[in-house]
Structure 1
Amino acid sequence: MPYTTEHKQKTRDRIVECARELFNRKGFVSVSIDEIMGHAGLTRGGFYNHFKTKEDLFAEAVIAFQNFNPADRWEGLDFDPTRCGKAHAKQMIQAYLSRSHLDDIDGHCPMIALPSDAARASPRVKQAYFDLLVRMAGIFADGLPPLDNPDDMPKEKAHQRGLALTALCVGGMVLARTFDDAAFRNEIREATQALALELIG
Structure 2
Amino acid sequence: MPYSPEHAVQTRARIVESARRLFNRHGFEQVTIDQIMAAAGLTRGGFYHHFRSKDELYASAVASFVTCNPFAIQTADAAQRLRDPRRLARMLVELYLSDDVLDNVDLHCPLYALPSDVARAGLEPQQAYTALIRGMGHIYRTALKGVRDAGRRAEAVVALCVGGMVLARTTHDPDLRKSLRASARHQALALLKVE
1:79–1:91 Cα contact (<8 Å) kept: no
| Mapped pair 1:160 → 2:152 | yes
Shift of 1:73: 7.0
Corresponding position of 2:34: 34
1:79–1:95 Cα contact (<8 Å) kept: no
Shift of 1:79: 6.4
Q: Percent identity?
A: 47
Distance 1:78 1:64 in 2: 16
Shift of 1:71: 6.0
1:180 counterpart (154, 172, 180): 172
Corresponding position of 1:192: 184
Shift of 1:14: 1.2
**Corresponding residue pairs, total:** 191
**Deviation string, structure 1 residues 14-47 (Cα, Å, up to 9, x no partner):** 1111101111111100100000011111110111
Deviates more, 1:172-181 or 1:182-191: 182-191
AA of the residue aligned to 1:163: E
Question: Gaps (5+ residues) in structure 2?
Answer: none
Shift of 1:57: 0.4
Deviates more, 1:107-116 or 1:62-71: 62-71
Corresponding position of 1:49: 49
Question: Gaps (5+ residues) in structure 1?
Answer: 146-151
Q: Which structure dedicates a bigger proportion of its chain to helix?
A: 2
Shift of 1:72: 7.6
AA of the residue aligned to 1:197: L
Distance 1:192 1:28 in 2: 27
Q: How does 1:54-73 map to 2 (within 5 A)?
A: 54-70=54-70
**Deviation string, structure 1 residues 71-107 (Cα, Å, up to 9, x no partner):** 6878xx9963563510211111111111111111121
Q: Secondary structure of 1:180's partner?
A: coil
2:63–2:132 Cα contact (<8 Å) kept: yes
Shift of 1:173: 0.3
State the TM-score, normalizing by the size of structure 1. 0.87
**Deviation string, structure 1 residues 37-80 (Cα, Å, up to 9, x no partner):** 11111110111111010000000011111223416878xx9963
State the TM-score, normalizing by the size of structure 2. 0.89
Distance 2:6 2:84 in 1: 31
Q: How does 1:8-27 map to 2 (within 5 A)?
A: 8-27=8-27
1:15–1:36 Cα contact (<8 Å) kept: yes
Q: Secondary structure of 2:170's partner?
A: coil
Distance 1:17 1:25 in 2: 13
Q: Secondary structure of 1:177's partner?
A: helix
Shift of 1:193: 1.7
Alignment root-mean-square deviation, CA: 2.1
Distance 2:85 2:179 in 1: 28
Shift of 1:118: 0.7
AA of the residue aligned to 1:47: F
2:89–2:140 Cα contact (<8 Å) kept: yes
AA of the residue aligned to 2:122: S
